[in-house]
Amino acid sequence: MKRYRKGLGGLLADLHQDFRFEIAGALFVLGLFLVIIAALGYVPQARSWVEGVAVLGNIVTGLGPWIFWETIIASVVMLIGGLDFADTIKKSREFEKLINTTSKEVFLKNRKRIVALATEALPERYWRRMERKRLELKVRD
């Protein structure tokens, strides 16, 4: 059974770990949407088009002089989401590479890294997969 961390910080870390793909993807899409809004606010030709679309016109008009800060926040949110998503993909590929073995010796050699990825970095389904592989190869603790 997977152990959860204590406290509010532990709860947030566990939520991020369990919903890593979803959170990173949502941050990236939110950042992309905000960048599009910023571009519509900065480009003069787009600004005249936006005035004809009620919702976008209200958003750009409401931001007014704050469009500069919205652009910076949009870039940061998109960057964080993209980097977190790339890191998650990298770690899941590494886990797949390490766990796809039929050799008990190779599994034991890489066990420390597999356990670290499964317990600290990736969602719980990877931990369950590691446990199944451990039972399949008859590895004792």
Q: How far apart are CA 17 and CA 20, in angstroms?
A: 5
36-64 pLDDT tens trace: 999 998 888 888 888 888 898 899 889 98
Is the pTM higher than 0.85?
A: no
Closest C-alpha among 129, 128, 135, 137 to residue 107: 137
59-103 pLDDT tens trace: 988 998 999 999 999 999 999 999 999 999 999 999 999 999 999
Closest C-alpha among 72, 69, 87 to residue 24: 87
Q: What is the domain partition of the chain in residue ranges?
A: 11-136
One-letter amino acid for residue 100 of the chain: N
